[in-house]
Structure 1
């Protein structure tokens, strides 16, 4: 018997919390075989692709409170540079159902723990079929202003249609360092074999996903 979808808020989602974002440049031939929407291709420069990883603690004050680990691949959408979420895990069934139905974000359920000591923190993701993935982060330089950011994601909806998802965030940034570890040969072992070029903590952020 098919499980009924959990109820979820309509688009857009207004969210708030803390996150750590890391930018990676990895050899394109090391990427897992992630499916992409039709007509979209990875943005590859000098045989390297660009990934963004997000460890996010969405807190009360937004439409949902949950934790998420998300990986976006930089892609070419026609002549535009965009992102496409290629993997994501959340610890809330409503977020999973809504992300898939509204925007085609391939969210799966996982157990996510995040801890912070005010200058950095640690996180762990455990999910079915993969060894634990762990991240450690430490602030290096806090910046005295709120940083706005916007982008759009290109996704494939469950019915095969393409979907473009606007994303807007602003928060208090801190430049830092991070490191990801996981088992050899795991789906995300590409991250453990490399170090990110840049990591930024965005604290007390406010964001809107969708339109």
Structure 2
């Protein structure tokens, strides 16, 4: 069996770190022309689509340590509603190679900074073909408990196979407000034209991606 050019851990990946997750409802007409898995379509309610963005600092203690900015779109495939990663940037080649090969996540390389303190966070993405994307977050309420969550991604591999990627995560959440800024005509300007409905900082999370 041919070995991958960049070796990466096998599925599942167990990861740990800090992240800020934001939920968006944006006009469907403003969505960029993102590719979706075969048979999947944006889940549109009242002419608006649902996006979820993730700014993540994966730290030592998991199978990989890197930083990531990921955008997932809520989709409908048949009678199922799930999410599909439509864009992602990482600063680690093993994460890029593994994400693409194992699950069809369209990762690209980028420079990502993420600074978090007790009540706020600042992040920035710079990548080829993408003007800088900046994100700021501030806590409104912090919960003193660990909460679990589950999710499912629908992705398409390079051979056309549609795969389902289960995710499990737990962490100490904080509820707050976030905002994205970027150039007005940039590919991700849809995020700057709107504010997220909700942003959640998940500190000291532990997650499992894949099965």
Place the TM-score, normalised by the shorter chain, in its bin.
over 0.9
**TM-score (norm. length: structure 2):** 0.97
1:10-49 paired onto structure 2 within 5 Å: 10-49=10-49
**Residue number in structure 1 paired with 2:186:** 186
Verify: 1:201 aligned to 2:207, yes or no.
no
Q: How far is the alpha carbon of 1:69 from its aligned partner? A: 0.1
**Residue number in structure 1 paired with 2:85:** 85
Q: How far is the alpha carbon of 1:130 from its aligned partner? A: 1.4
What secondary structure does 1:144 align onto?
A: coil
Verify: 1:142 aligned to 2:142, yes or no.
yes
Kindly report structure 1 stretches of 4+ aligned residues shifted beyond 3 Å. Answer: none
What secondary structure does 2:75 align onto?
A: strand
Distance in 2 (CA, whole Å) between partners of 1:93 and 1:41 is 30
Distance in 2 (CA, whole Å) between partners of 1:62 and 1:130 is 29
**Residue number in structure 2 paired with 1:100:** 100
Q: How far is the alpha carbon of 1:121 from its aligned partner? A: 1.3
1:106-149 CA-partner distances (Å, limit 9, x unpaired): 00000001111211110000000111000000010001211111
Unaligned runs of 5+ in 1: none
The number of residue pairs the alignment matches comes to 208
Verify: 1:122 aligned to 2:122, yes or no.
yes
**Residue number in structure 1 paired with 2:68:** 68
Distance in 2 (CA, whole Å) between partners of 1:205 and 1:185 is 34
Distance in 1 (CA, whole Å) between partners of 2:76 and 2:127 is 30
What secondary structure does 2:98 align onto?
A: helix
What secondary structure does 1:185 align onto?
A: coil
Calculate the aligned-residue CA RMSD, in Å.
0.7
What secondary structure does 1:22 align onto?
A: strand
Unaligned runs of 5+ in 2: none
**Residue number in structure 1 paired with 2:110:** 110
**Residue number in structure 2 paired with 1:153:** 153
**Residue number in structure 2 paired with 1:54:** 54
**TM-score (norm. length: structure 1):** 0.97
